[in-house]
Structure 1
Amino acid sequence: MTLGTTYTEQTQWNTSSPDTHPVQAVAGMTYDLPDYKAQAAGVVFASPVGKGCEGGFVRVAPFQKTCQEVVQTLPKGSVLADNLSNTMLFNLANDGGQALLVPTGNSCVVVSVARMAG
């Protein structure tokens, strides 16, 4: 979720029994990549399951491009999965999660979601 960023985060968990309760982290991120310089935000959440843990993340990143332009930057092999109230939902290539493209005038907010297990 934070690849390519500098970030700060705040975590919350049960300190007396961390292996039996969920954990959550909220992050503020700054992208400083050659083709993308912007603020973004994300949430990571996980819960114990058996002897492991499962969870997911949500990242919200604004782009100063239309959503049609952002579609061209998605990983090759990404597929349009649905149109949810005029927001395109893509299944990202290589099981990379999903991206919901929310149009905001001439800009696009990309909400990325993914699940994880381990």
Structure 2
Amino acid sequence: MQGLVGKTFQGSADGNYNGPAAGLVFAAPTAKGYEGTMVRVVPLAQICEAVADLLLKGSLPLQPLSSMAVYTLATGG
């Protein structure tokens, strides 16, 4: 199962970004129900290093994926 979610960010609580964004939701059936994740897509006209500073404190970089930066968030996401 997969879905698309629309969102509008509104300032400081959302990392000082104002504007549209999207989320891709992925879920798969398991023996105990469903398991899944959501990938948030936010269009920012900044270099990657500057955007990484907007992530939650404690977020850690992972191995790049096709030269794209990937992070694990401090909240486990």
Same fold (TM over 0.5): yes
Residue 85 of structure 1 deviates from its aligned partner by 3.4
Percent of pairs identical after alignment? Answer: 41
Helix, strand or coil: the match of 2:37? strand
Gaps of 5+ in 1: 1-22, 97-118
Structure 2 counterpart of 1:60, one-letter code: V
The residue number in structure 1 matching 2:40 is 59
Count, aligned residues: 74
Gaps of 5+ in 2: none
Residue 37 of structure 1 deviates from its aligned partner by 0.6
Structure 2 counterpart of 1:62, one-letter code: P
Helix, strand or coil: the match of 1:93? coil
Which has the larger share of strand?
A: 1
Structure label with greater radius of gyration: 1
Give the Cα separation in 2 of the matches to 1:85 and 1:47: 25
Give the Cα separation in 1 of the matches to 2:29 and 2:71: 28
Residue 33 of structure 1 deviates from its aligned partner by 2.0
Equivalent residue for 2:27, pick from 46, 51, 71: 46
Distance 1:45 1:84, change over 3 A: closer
Say if 2:3 is the partner of 1:25. yes
Backbone CA RMSD of aligned residues? 1.9
